[in-house]
Chains A and B, each alone.
Chain A
Amino acid sequence: MTWFQKWRRGEGAQGLFLISPTLAFTLLLLAVPLVMVIVLSFWTQDYLTLHRTFSLENYRTAWTEPMYQYLMARSLKISMLVTAMTVLLAYPVAYFISFRVSPKRKAMWIFLITIPFWTSYLMRIFLWKVILGYNGVVNGSLMGLGVIEQPLSFILYNQNAVVLTLAHAWVPFAILPIFVALERVDRSLIEAAEDLGDTKWRRFLRVTLPLSMPGVIAATIIVFIPTIGDYVTPRLVGGPNGLMIANMIELQFKKANDAPLGAALAISAMIIVTCVALIFIWLNKKYIREAK
């Protein structure tokens, strides 16, 4: 038997064959494009000609040009606001389902939470435009009630609208990990806290909240990472002041015709997101270790 035949019958090879479709998919559609973007970011483009010589020029521009710094900071700010709002909105819902809903009904409640996903994300953004617009539901109602005389302009085409729309879209994703973490909190621990003299609020702060932190951190990561790179929402409801780094990346690849700079911006954004995510993962590990 040759080494190849031996290897082919081994457990390792079997595992490799089993994952091979996914592996091929991942390699072709994730790893290869990623490598291409990285390579591209070290090249330069002059109108239509691509100079294939190694250069850090794009990174220098991406990290020093005030406009890119500003957009990056704004993207971070918006996605942090979205994350904070999402987690704060999701926690009470997850708590309610875990602690107040009878065990028989929990599955139904989780199912109800997924209802927004029945509509496409674009549709939901357009609905927010309808709700928040100049002649939209909010303005129409407030004017009809005589609360305001002129339609409010600060509710659409700015950063507030981006935060609101994104938070609405991501709340269900935040509810699930928090719910799972709360489900895993041993109820006798909460009884013990009560037995030892804590009031409802104190035992939430001292037992339930710390023990559900892994879920909160997971929710934070799940919401933060995708929102920082979102470009559809800022494009549709953000107006000129609500644009984020992803819109700039798109601009560089398309209209500005400077793909290498776009690639450098994309890689820079990825590095920043990775750093933030690593902090959260480290926090999560710390909590999980303590909670064991």
Chain B
Amino acid sequence: MTQPIIQLSGLDKFYGNFQALSQVDLDIKTGEFFSLLGPSGCGKTTLLRSIAGFETPSAGSLYIDGQSMDGVPANKRPTNMVFQSYAIFPHMSVAENVAYGLKARKLPKAEIKTRVTDAIAMVGLQGFGERASHGLSGGQRQRVALARALVLKPRVLLLDEPLSALDKKLREQMQSELRQLQRAVGITFVLVTHDQEEALTMSDRIAVMFDGTIAQVATPQDLYGQPCSRRVANFIGMMNFLDAKILSTSGETVDVDVQSFGKLTLPLGQATGGLEGCDAVGVRPEMLTILTGSQTAEREIEAVVSEVFYYGDMTYYDVRLPFKEESVTITMRNTAGRSILGVGEKARVGWSASSLLLLK
């Protein structure tokens, strides 16, 4: 395997007494679309700004492309950034904005011109070159910011919540455009976001961060399917939790006593974050089914519907299981002929032991 483009080890960052980053170790592979995901204040932006060179880590090492970035200022790093505010120079036209970095590198005029034209075309802004930058819409500003950074052919493109300022429809469009652009240019993208859906749909790999530490690094599928802790599971999508108590372990299996579900034997692989400290079992809402008529499942349990949310294509049920205070959410696809249950009706809930995750 080739060398990672970004290698972080033992990175710490303090602001006074506040620790923004704590012992961050991370390798980002060349050419991947990598996301830093976490709630606000988790340190993801600080981490990105440390890579860009705007923050100096208090401890630890940072290598980009095999080179130590210790003491290397932002203007000398092989990274470029798309800022959250886009930071488009208001006193310059679109083309002047895109040409900014090329002029800083004192390239010949003819080369600047062709590269700027290509970059503007690449982000779909043909004909906008002479426009003043202050008349642009949010989406256009973002494209200018992208062109301005990509025209320099950086080794890594850093994106700080680039889609948060756009409305929902434009955001979804830009998500797929960004993904396509990344595939086309082959540059490593590092994206900071607090939107789990955005991270899941766009990334090759995701690092989930809480309180200045990285909780889990995984592909979107693994992150959703095998979260390493309750906190990660809760942050990525919906998850039902049932109290669980480990009774004993033997070789490849573990015996647990699960609230409502009773005593079970699960393979050790279902303790995705390790067995130590596990006190709950998680199950995704779509892994539970409400059985109708003669349908059967591997295991069944009686429940009472306490709330119904109808979404058109889906119905979200909140149901009460025996021996459990809080309700459990089940999502069902509204296929043809399937009737919607009402509040207070009894339901047979089908589940399987293989869809349970042992979490701490």
Where the two chains meet, the residues of A that have a C-beta atom closer than 8 Å to any C-beta of B are 186, 188-189, 191-199, 202, 206-207, 210-211, 287, 290-292
Q: How large is the interface on B (under 10, 10 to 19, 20 to 34, 35 or more residues)?
A: 20 to 34
CA–CA, A287 to B90, complex, Å?
10
Taken residue by residue from 148 to 160, chain B's Cβ proximity to chain A (1 for < 8 Å, 0 otherwise) reads as 1100100000000
CA–CA, A206 to B132, complex, Å?
16
The answer on a CB contact under 8 Å between A191 and B101 is no
Residues facing A in B104-152 (CB within 8 A) are 104-105, 132, 134, 148-149, 152
Write out the residue numbers on chain B whose beta carbons fall within 8 Å of the beta carbon of A192. Answer: 81, 83, 87, 89
- Nearest-neighbor residue (CB-CB) of A197 within chain B: B104
B75 in the interface (beta carbon within 8 A): yes
CA–CA, A292 to B90, complex, Å?
6
Q: A191-B74, A191-B83, A290-B132 are in contact. Are A196 and B148 (CB under 8 A)?
A: yes
- B287 → chain A closest CB, angstroms: 44
- A50 → chain B closest CB, angstroms: 55
- B277 → chain A closest CB, angstroms: 41
- Nearest-neighbor residue (CB-CB) of B105 within chain A: A197
- Secondary structure dominating the interface of A: helix
CA–CA, A191 to B83, complex, Å?
9
Write out the residue numbers on chain A whose beta carbons fall within 8 Å of the beta carbon of B85. Answer: 186, 188
Known: A196-B104, A197-B76, A198-B100. 11 other contacts (CB 8 A): A188-B87, A191-B81, A191-B83, A192-B89, A193-B100, A194-B73, A195-B80, A196-B75, A197-B152, A211-B90, A292-B134
Write out the residue numbers on chain A whose beta carbons fall within 8 Å of the beta carbon of B42. Answer: none
From A189, A196, A198, give the contact of B80 (CB < 8 A). Answer: A196
The answer on a CB contact under 8 Å between A189 and B89 is yes
From B76, B80, B83, give the contact of A188 (CB < 8 A). Answer: B83
For A188, A193, A196, the residue with the greatest tally of chain B CB atoms inside 10 Å of its CB is: A196
Write out the residue numbers on chain A whose beta carbons fall within 8 Å of the beta carbon of B90. Answer: 189, 211, 290-292
CA–CA, A191 to B54, complex, Å?
8
CA–CA, A57 to B83, complex, Å?
65
The answer on a CB contact under 8 Å between A195 and B52 is yes
The answer on a CB contact under 8 Å between B89 and A195 is no
From B54, B87, B101, give the contact of A186 (CB < 8 A). Answer: B87
B168 in the interface (beta carbon within 8 A): no
26 cross-chain CB contacts under 8 A: A186-B85, A188-B83, A189-B87, A189-B90, A191-B81, A192-B81, A192-B83, A193-B89, A193-B104, A194-B54, A194-B73, A194-B75, A195-B52, A196-B75, A196-B152, A197-B76, A197-B101, A197-B104, A197-B105, A197-B152, A198-B75, A198-B104, A202-B104, A210-B91, A211-B91, A291-B91
Q: A193-B100, A195-B74, A197-B105 are in contact. Are A207 and B89 (CB under 8 A)?
A: yes
Write out the residue numbers on chain A whose beta carbons fall within 8 Å of the beta carbon of B100. Answer: 193, 196, 198, 206
Write out the residue numbers on chain B whose beta carbons fall within 8 Å of the beta carbon of A287. Answer: 91
CA–CA, A191 to B100, complex, Å?
13
From B53, B54, B101, give the contact of A196 (CB < 8 A). Answer: B101
The answer on a CB contact under 8 Å between B91 and A290 is yes
Write out the residue numbers on chain A whose beta carbons fall within 8 Å of the beta carbon of B87. Answer: 186, 188-189, 191-192
- A292 → chain B closest CB, angstroms: 5
